[in-house]
A and B are shown apart, each in its own frame.
Chain A
Amino acid sequence: MHSLREHFRAIGLGDNGGSVLHGFFGLGKAPATLSLKEQMARCRRVNTIHLNVIRLAFDTVIPREPLERKIDLAIHLARDTYDQAGIGVCRVLHYIIEDAFAGLYPDIGGDGEADDLCDAYSVDNDGIDTFIVLSYAGGTIGSSRSPGSCDKDGKGGSSGIVVEMGEIEHDAELDAIAYSHELCHFLGVPQHNSDTNNLMCACRNKRQLSISQIGMILDHCMITRNFLVEI
């Protein structure tokens, strides 16, 4: 059995990775009862992903608390959703692009602007960059290239997802599911509207993944092969 400290080190948080809730779970507040044992098991899985949550102009949002709780729920549901694929959503790091530096990106006007945001910003690590914007115009809640690129400095291929978590739009659970849905597109899974229980159907509150979809995800280069596995 590995210690919590060893888990911190193994996922790149070092000895000063913060508290268990903020550092190891990557949450501001717990959206539900959390199990440290389960999270440690997630990080020991063969297949894991790490996330970078990048907020756009959240410094202008008053009160900010509801949006932060939406993000917590999105991370929590993503963990739950990817558990069924045997993939551990492990390290989650948090960032902000403050309003003064965000240009026109907090309010995305279309997929081209979303791709441009992913082209302009990135975090230097092996996590998937997930941008949280305040509004996304048009008929969709977010966007991702499918499959997303693993080379953050590569040409063209977008290396992130963009999801709206606005002050006004939907209930928190729908935003959270949109986050997992776009993440799944990034990991190479196409839209799948024929199964209304599937995460990739444009349906409310459905989070199932099929065997073939799990296979697609496991083929994606952003899946980290873990060396902390206990045999």
Chain B
Amino acid sequence: MSLNRIVAFAPEPRENRPEESIVHRARTALMTDRSPPNVGDAIEVLASSQFPNRHRDLERVLSDVNAPSRLRMRAALALARSEREAARQILRSALDIDDAIVRNGVMRALGMVGGADELTAIERVVPSLKGRTRDLAEFARTLISHRLGRADTLPDSPLEGKLLEPGKNCGRRVHTRVARPGTVERALSSASSLYGIEVDEQAVVEYSCERSSGAILLNRDLRKAPELLRKRPALVGLEARRNRASGDYSVSYVILSRPVGGAIEVNVHLTNGTRVFTGRAEVRGDALSWTLRAIQRPGAFPFKASGILADGQLTVESAEAGPRVEQKLKPKPIDLTMPL
């Protein structure tokens, strides 16, 4: 889809450079020079390699108070893709970093890989946080609590908000099917983080709607649904969007559920924590029947989907999206003649 950071880092085409030499150059760049050019790319190279102890190099960048904030943020995000236990420990100790941009990266990374100890550490710092960092910390808390199945540590249930549903006969159908061979492998290999779930490769569903297509990756634990979802919060799965230009997948939505009374509340969040769809699921015998609708926000379009989850297999019975009804926001014009 885009100029790739790895290729950008290595001036010659990739096939002429074995990965080892690129990684070596990346490590050298990180150790000797924390400033431009291309050190951010070096972090990506290292993160996507299998180099042992790469978390040590990333930790060095993360904890370097003289490095630019967004470089340190990138190191935090890259840690979420390295050896999990070591990364957790480094990220936990980085919670005390007094730089909001770096902390934002640490919160995002902890949301992807954090466990019980990280949950406790986040709860300790949340009261002192403000603005975006606090929002990201709350989302990290939400993700970890769902992953661990802990209702006691969940933030308060979000307000439902106004829902947007397509009118009769004005919606466009979303087509779904069981994933084709190759789709599962591509989705799993190109998604940068799977948010700590083990994807059930037998239950991947492909979807397409006009120019959009992607895959829904379900947590293997759902084979035990509906009992599991009725008892505790769960990270149900991920939506990975397919890039038509490159064929790669990128995780766009995280699907979460929590028991509420006799029913199950389902929320779909963007990877930055914004809640975009919400709905309910009800137990019907050995299956769960679910519905989802779009939440009103700038630029949103109506969406309604319903289906069945049984034996770990997701069936979408109907899904349609309508024309955009919510006004987009307008950026502010600037005058280039004004001094910066």
User: Which residues of the other chain, A, contact B329 by a CB distance below 8 angstroms?
Assistant: 97, 101, 120-121
B251 x A112 contact (CB < 8 A): yes
Cβ of A12 < 8 Å from any Cβ of B? no
B233-260, CB < 8 A from A: 239, 241, 243-246, 250-253
Cβ of B74 < 8 Å from any Cβ of A? yes
A68–B172 Cα distance when bound, in Å, is 41
- How distant is B130 from chain A, measured CB to nearest CB, in Å? 13
Q: How many A-B residue pairs have CB under 8 A?
A: 219
Cβ of B104 < 8 Å from any Cβ of A? yes
**When the two chains form the complex, which single residue of A54, A93, A153, A155 contacts B172, counting CB atoms closer than 8 Å?**
A155
- How distant is B188 from chain A, measured CB to nearest CB, in Å? 15
B-binding segment of A42-50, A78-86, A138-146, A221-229: A138-146
Cβ of B202 < 8 Å from any Cβ of A? no
B252 x A115 contact (CB < 8 A): yes
- How distant is B192 from chain A, measured CB to nearest CB, in Å? 5
Q: Kindly supply a per-residue 1/0 record for chain A positions 14-26, scoring 1 wherever the CB is within 8 Å of any chain B CB and 0 otherwise.
A: 0000110010001
B274-292, CB < 8 A from A: 274, 276
* With A155-B172, A168-B68: A139-B192 Cβ-Cβ less than 8 Å: yes
User: Which residues of the other chain, B, contact A65 by a CB distance below 8 angstroms?
Assistant: 340
A142-166, CB < 8 A from B: 142-147, 149, 152-158, 166
* With A157-B210, A166-B40: A113-B270 Cβ-Cβ less than 8 Å: yes
A144–B192 Cα distance when bound, in Å, is 18
- How distant is B55 from chain A, measured CB to nearest CB, in Å? 17
User: Which residues of the other chain, B, contact A166 by a CB distance below 8 angstroms?
Assistant: 40, 70
* With A116-B270, A155-B210: A185-B250 Cβ-Cβ less than 8 Å: no
Number of interface residues of B (CB under 8 A): 74
A121–B330 Cα distance when bound, in Å, is 6
Q: Kindly supply a per-residue 1/0 record for chain A positions 103-140, scoring 1 wherever the CB is within 8 Å of any chain B CB and 0 otherwise.
A: 11001011111011001111110000000001101111
A152–B38 Cα distance when bound, in Å, is 34
- How distant is A132 from chain B, measured CB to nearest CB, in Å? 11
B36 x A54 contact (CB < 8 A): no
User: Which residues of the other chain, A, contact B335 by a CB distance below 8 angstroms?
Assistant: 18, 22, 94
User: Which residues of the other chain, A, contact B336 by a CB distance below 8 angstroms?
Assistant: 18, 22, 26-28, 94
A124–B331 Cα distance when bound, in Å, is 10
B211 x A95 contact (CB < 8 A): no
Q: Is chain A's binding surface mostly helix, strand, loop or mixed?
A: loop
Cβ of A76 < 8 Å from any Cβ of B? no
A91–B192 Cα distance when bound, in Å, is 37
User: Which residues of the other chain, A, contact B1 by a CB distance below 8 angstroms?
Assistant: 111, 140, 143-144, 146, 185, 191
B179-213, CB < 8 A from A: 192, 209-212
B73 x A107 contact (CB < 8 A): yes
* With A68-B340, A104-B135, A140-B2: A111-B250 Cβ-Cβ less than 8 Å: yes
A-B contact pairs, 24 of them (CB 8 A): A22-B335, A28-B336, A95-B331, A95-B334, A97-B331, A97-B332, A104-B104, A111-B250, A115-B241, A137-B77, A139-B5, A139-B6, A140-B3, A146-B1, A153-B328, A155-B324, A156-B321, A157-B210, A166-B40, A168-B36, A171-B36, A191-B1, A204-B8, A204-B11
Q: Name A residues whose Cβ lies closer than 8 Å to a Cβ of B.
A: 18-19, 22, 26-28, 52, 54-55, 63-65, 68, 93-98, 101, 103-104, 107, 109-113, 115-116, 119-124, 134-135, 137-147, 149, 152-158, 166-171, 174, 177-178, 181-182, 185, 190-191, 196, 202-204
Closest 4 CB pairs of A and B: A112-B252, A95-B331, A140-B2, A111-B250
